[in-house]
A and B are shown apart, each in its own frame.
Chain A
């Protein structure tokens, strides 16, 4: 399908405002003005509507396809939350309004939403306080790492290292490095953190340990109490990556368990759409001892129940975002939490874990599951066995696309060969899960009898497998390059 630029017809009228009475050159010297046209599209409204409608048909999304992408929690996104976030009373609010004299009175409803969301997240996680400013999970990690640095520096003992298990998401070590830390990786044992391996590297230079619970294999970290003990003794802070919170709502509050810093992904656990890669929202919760370092501004509620923004926190790490985070995303998560309530959230995790274990059991005769015990909301299988026929995890993924499923996450976590990471979420019906099993069984049977049929996939989509090497070499990253 040609690009929108190729469809452009100079002079064709789009959604234009009226013609100005003046030209910029009447006010601004010519030398400061643009020399050439930008060569942006000239199209009718229908041209544009048709182009993007057709593009949308080339995508799988949760609304159209089962999307068991492990670690991403691709659950259904309730539609009413979209309308809530688009209410003009929220969508037309200027972010600088609260900084005006008397500005707090212009935005009390928005501040109340933020305050209430923070309180709900505190209840859900057991943390003492939250900031909503980080705009995605990785942004939350960086915010957390900066707070850990501020905590240790304030105690007069700046430290240099952060520990991540080898099963961690790539963002964990990347965020720690960007906050100025050296990253120490520790090997997992039986799929989980080995407290002895941790103890061996936990010296007085370790600022924190980053954990995901359940971890990226979908396994609960059984040694958590011992890990908490070790970290306390070394004055290392314990960080919780909330990517997998969908497994433990109402079952484990990470604050009670001893974590000091926590980031959540509202776009995973709390039903806000993933948007083709954002916008997300990555609020960060802290234990009592880290409250002074939270980013500013903070929402404050006085005795009369009035809300305001406060900036006077001398130990704060500062601004991690220009304003208050992705407010439009928070609104949807707030509406989602109110809708489900405490019991509903608990049912979310129960059914997510039920669905994952159901799929694991129904597939474990066909695919190797390296750590085959009760999983939480997701599990990691391995296509190593299929390799003897020349069929790899990638081929199975592509064959699933042909049958109308988005593929699971593949080749992650790095510690499982030919990894296939499956997360069904609580919102998929048993019929969908059963159909998925049937199709995956057919694919795996074909992998034995006719591997070429699998390695040729996909054949039903707008394009077949694309040449990634050529893309990197040719570097056609705009219509004008390459």
Chain B
């Protein structure tokens, strides 16, 4: 995947001085802190059998790649502790996940030089769009555990994308793959007035913000 993608930030805002640190400094503008994990869905919870689940990377790659559930679990994974902010204004600090970094997933393909955007697509016909530069270098992962347990269906299980540096609608539930494109393509909410990028620190809630 070339040198032209540079790190634009780090997940989790780990600059806060420990658990007793300044919580306000870790809370993006306009957000309130919660220890809940609200369930917000644009549709019914899909129930895809794990023996029929797969994760596929297609589009501007030398050859599409697809993992079964067992193959996906065998990929190198790590624990992530990150702060999550939803555009509905809740922020939950130090959410604990386990999953595979997008960097690891993209090691399975060779990107076309024109590749610039990732379209995450999901069961339930949900999509969200992200620049490749926003998901590389440890900025995003596909999670299948939350707080030490398998990710529950209402929270996006069996697997969801997690992009901590963006509002949570970018962290697509029930993810099934990436389509790599040269051109951007606004996703489910981005095409209905929500911000195309969704940086919670810049309060990019709506298009035009």
A binds B: no
- Which residues on B are within 8 Å of A, measured CB to CB? none
- Which residues on A are within 8 Å of B, measured CB to CB? none
